[in-house]
Amino acid sequence: MTYETIFKGIMYVLYIYLGFIALCLILYLPRLIGWFAPLRKQKHLEKMDHFRIAVLVPARNESSVVGGLLDDLDEQTYPKEFFDVHVIVKDPNDKTLAIAKGHNAITHIVEDQKRKSDALNSCIQDIFKKNSKDYYDAYLIMDADCWMDKKCLEEINNGFASGRHVKLKKLKNLRGMKSGVSYNILLTHFA
């Protein structure tokens, strides 16, 4: 073995090592960019288009917490004529009905519901029977124990009108529940 052969072997190993490092950097580059992206000021989306939004609140036996959410919905900066609140309960004697009617929410009683999806399906079918399928542009599903910032619907509309789609949003749950975070907004658009 000559020094030239040893040197070539070391160079091959070095080239492979440098190639591996370059590949790692290329694959890791999007993550590096993601770390520094929040330092840039983001453009605030504002759209004058107003979409009709149905806010669906399945609230079986939620009379102790639903009032807070309905208060938050009453205080929205989004124009009231562009959204309706639909509260879904199981029992016609549920105290939640009186609270919802006090906030001018549309109420739905679904006595045969076994789970939340049954209540939501029945409510949406009810809406489709009373209105055309394109009466609402979006459906926002919220748990009764959530809270909303007063600009929440406006910001969802801005994002939605600009072509972005809000699929899932993380909300802090401050209405007495044990979990600190609740995933409770689902915005769906029917094209």
pLDDT in tens, 130-189: 887 678 888 888 888 888 888 888 888 887 777 665 554 444 444 444 443 344 444 444
Average pLDDT over residues 92-114: 89
pLDDT of 86: 93
pLDDT at 191: 38
Counting Cβ atoms within 10 Å, is residue 72 exposed (0-12), middle (13-18) or buried (19+)?
middle
**What is the mean predicted confidence (pLDDT) over 43-56?**
80
Amino acid at 154: E
Q: Which amino acid, residue 127?
A: I
pLDDT over 70 at 57, yes or no: yes
Q: What pLDDT, on the 0 to 100 scale, is given for residue 176?
A: 45
Cα angle 60, 64, 66; round to 5? 65
Tokens of 171: 């909300």
Confidence class for position 3, pLDDT limits 50, 70, 90: confident
Length of the chain: 191
CA distance 90 to 96: 10
CA distance 140 to 182: 15
pLDDT, averaged across the chain: 79
Give tens-digit pLDDT for 108-138: 988 888 888 888 888 888 888 888 767 888 8
